[in-house]
């Protein structure tokens, strides 16, 4: 049996729906051995974020050294990185250990509005992290914050994708969860071609951690050898059913269902 390894570099969500917890659940469901480098602890539930406690840069670096020296991942994803210093350290270690198949989810704000990235860290993200991305997965507000554009139309999103490409990312997906359309349109750009993935928009409160889960699924598929577009297509299916078969946990924005994808496959 060939075992592939996937790494998440992200924050902990005590509520289990987003962050490291969502990533590890997703890796497991997609049969990638999951590993984690923690950047911050959050006290969080479906109602919101009650506390944010970043780790020190050296604590993050030491974890990355432990992974890099023994357990080189076949793919990795980044989530909440919190500060410019952590972003720079992570980018440096990715290069030092020659880690490939890098999915960058430029997490900035939790759905309830809590800040998971300091404003002054956006420049570091542009300068250090987006250039090492195999795939970068901003939602619409994140793409706006990175590019400085206001994204009102699909043409605006295409222009933002081009700018992200020029920052050095190989593949861009601007996620449409925050869009106004009746359907959810995720826009992909690989430097040459635009591809739109169009899916039914689910009317539900339970979308906590959709971005984390989606990016982790891309990383798991890349780890198994898929090309970027195929990895994104599987991840899109994974998140669609995780939203459709929601769990109804907590009294706020509940998590998605990380086992829905495998449960549905088992029924076919």
Ligand X SMILES: Nc1ncnc2c1ncn2[C@@H]1O[C@H](COP(=O)(O)OP(=O)(O)OP(=O)(O)O)[C@@H](O)[C@H]1O
Ligand Y SMILES: Cc1ncc(CO)c(N)n1
What residue 11 binds from ligand Y, ligand X, none (CB within 5 to 8 A, per partner kind)? ligand Y
Which residue in 25, 93, 111, 175 is the catalytic one? 175
Binder of ligand Y out of 8, 26, 36, 42 (CB under 6 A): 42
Q: Is residue 79 annotated as a catalytic residue, yes or no?
A: no
What residue 254 binds from ligand X, ligand Y, none (CB within 5 to 8 A, per partner kind)? none
Q: Is 45 exposed, middle or buried (0-12, 13-18, 19+ CB in 10 A)?
A: buried
116 binds ligand Y per the rule CB under 6 A:
yes
Which residue in 11, 176, 179, 211 is the catalytic one? 211
Q: Is residue 179 annotated as a catalytic residue, yes or no?
A: no
- Interactions with ligand Y, residue window 229-268 (CB under 6 A): none
Tell me the three-class secondary structure of 20-61, residue by residue.
HHHHHHHHHHCCCEEEEEEEEEEEEECCEEEEEEECCHHHHH
Q: Per-residue x/- mask for ligand Y, residues 80 to 109, rule CB under 6 A?
A: x--------------------------x--
Closest C-alpha among 88, 72, 66, 80 to residue 33: 72
**What whole-number distance in Å separates Cα of residue 217 and Cα of residue 88?**
24
- Interactions with ligand Y, residue window 207-226 (CB under 6 A): 209, 211-212
**What whole-number distance in Å separates Cα of residue 46 and Cα of residue 112?**
9
Q: Is residue 211 annotated as a catalytic residue, yes or no?
A: yes
Q: What is the contact surface with ligand Y in residues (CB under 6 A)? A: 10-13, 18-19, 42, 44, 79-80, 107, 110, 116, 209, 211-212
């Amino acid at each position: 049996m060939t075992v592939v390894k996937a790494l998440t570099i992200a924050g902990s969500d005590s509520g289990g729906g987003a962050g490291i917890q969502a990533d590890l659940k997703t890796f497991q469901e997609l049969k990638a051995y999951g590993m984690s480098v923690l950047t911050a602890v959050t006290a969080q539930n479906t109602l919101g974020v009650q506390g944010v406690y970043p780790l020190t840069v050296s604590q993050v670096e030491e974890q990355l050294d432990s992974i890099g020296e023994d357990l080189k991942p076949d793919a990795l994803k980044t989530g909440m990185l919190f500060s410019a210093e952590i972003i720079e350290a992570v980018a440096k270690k990715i290069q030092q250990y020659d880690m490939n198949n890098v999915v960058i989810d430029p997490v900035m704000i939790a759905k309830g509005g809590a800040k998971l990235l300091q404003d002054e860290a956006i420049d570091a993200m542009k300068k250090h992290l987006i250039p090492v991305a195999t795939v970068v997965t901003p939602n619409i507000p994140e793409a706006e914050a990175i590019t400085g554009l206001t994204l009102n139309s699909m043409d605006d999103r295409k222009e933002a994708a081009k700018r992200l490409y020029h920052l050095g990312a190989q593949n861009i997906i601007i996620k449409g969860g925050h869009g106004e359309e009746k359907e959810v349109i995720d826009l992909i750009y690989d430097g040459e071609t635009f591809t739109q993935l169009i899916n039914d928009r689910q009317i539900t409160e339970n979308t906590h951690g959709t971005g984390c889960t989606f990016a982790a699924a891309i990383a798991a598929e890349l780890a198994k050898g898929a090309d970027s577009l195929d990895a994104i297509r599987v991840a899109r299916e994974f998140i669609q059913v995780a939203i459709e078969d929601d769990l109804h946990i907590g009294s706020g924005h509940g998590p998605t269902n990380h086992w829905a994808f495998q449960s549905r496959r088992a029924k076919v």
